[in-house]
A = this chain, B = another copy of it.
Amino acid sequence: MDPRIHDHAAVIVDHSTSIEAGDNVSITAPPAAEDLVVALYEKLGERGANPSVTMSSSRAMRAFMRASDPDDFELPAQSMAAVEAADVAIQIRASTNTHETGDVAPEKNAAYGAVMKPLGDEVMDKRWCGTQFPTDGNAQDAEMSTEAYEEFVYDAVLKDWDEQREHQERMVEILDPASEVHIVSGDTTDLRLSVDGMVTQNDYGENNLPGGEVFTAPVPDSVEGEVLFDKPVMAQGREVDGVSLRFEDGEAIEHSAEKNEAVLTSILDTDEGARRLGELGIGMNRDITEFTYNMLFDEKMGDTVHLAVGRAYEDTVGEDRERNESAMHQDMIVDMSENSRIEVDGEVVQRNGTFRFEDGFEK
């Protein structure tokens, strides 16, 4: 087996989830990620933990959703019972075909997502980590050879996470006490939002591996202006391009997409909270140098900002603040590499992808 798979397992077990003897560890993985499951089982055996694996199969999900009446969708009781009984959840992504659910009706996809939402909420109450195992399918999506993609993934994952934490802490110190954030990119994005009273988190490879962002929650009704997400979004097995949203009083009152607008509409129609922002994230992982059509990596890129429609992460919402609730959480990315800036409380903190505390920053 590729020795980097063993190294990846070690980072998950020791850094991301801090496994101890006796921990009940629920892994979720598609068949294509069996190698990483094997490496994790070895490490978990050494630590005296108790693992099990749920198989996620996008082929099975597609067959199930197509055959089902969406009114019959119920959260399987055994899935919830398993997550409730676990101490740690490790979720591995690995696609053999990222378009596998592309011929399921968007409404069915969204209805299923809504039914399964409590499972995701329960996972987030545990120690948890979501990560990527490199496959042909994800390499193809990234427009890379499989070998180059493996290098890309392991470069992003196997790094000095303490150093990364310190790098990001400088942005946390700016954003956490701030009120107003102003994001400008070209003449298509000009968005103002408040993060007043919200909590900025430093993601250094615990819940997300790779990590590499700082993120917080906008005050739900504070978002005003327009944004063009110039990086494509993969959702429900489809590529949604050129998403544009206009916000008033925090709500996306206009939306359009150049490709697969119906998917975007179904995302925003999930529930009331799906039309409001639940996350503002700032990518800071300089080892992710290429856009690969995979949110786990793309949102961490150093010269991007991402916004998510839908639910806010609980740990980003201040005690006396409203949390945006939704079954949906869809991240979308704005390229900040050119002709763009982030202002925090009126001061420029990033221009054309370079942070104020990095070399080459032009005030």
Residues of A within 8 A of B (CB): 21-22, 24-26, 29, 31-32, 34, 37-46, 48, 50-55, 57, 59-61, 63-69, 72, 74-86
Contact = CB atoms under 8 A, between A and B. Distances in A.
B69 A48 contact: yes
Contacts of A77: 24, 50, 85-86
B52 A78 contact: yes
A181 to B, nearest CB: 40
A63 B32 CA distance: 18
Nearest to A42: B63
Contacts of A44: 64, 67
A68 B22 CA distance: 12
Nearest to A9: B63
Contacts of A74: 22, 50
A75 B53 contact: no
19 contacts: A25-B76, A31-B32, A34-B55, A37-B57, A38-B63, A40-B60, A41-B57, A42-B66, A42-B67, A44-B67, A45-B66, A46-B67, A50-B74, A51-B64, A52-B79, A53-B55, A78-B86, A79-B82, A81-B82
Instruction: Please tell me how many copies of the chain the complex holds.
Output: 2
A55 B78 contact: no
B78 A63 contact: no
A50 B65 CA distance: 11
A82 B65 CA distance: 22
A53 B76 CA distance: 11
Contacts of A69: 48
A68 B55 contact: no
A354 B358 CA distance: 86
Contact of A65 (B25, B45, B72, B76): B45
Contacts of A80: 85
A8 to B, nearest CB: 14
A34 B59 contact: yes
A24 B21 CA distance: 31
A37 B66 CA distance: 15
Contacts of A31: 31-32, 34, 55
A22 B81 CA distance: 16
Nearest to A24: B77
A24 B76 contact: yes
B48 A60 contact: no
B50 A75 contact: yes
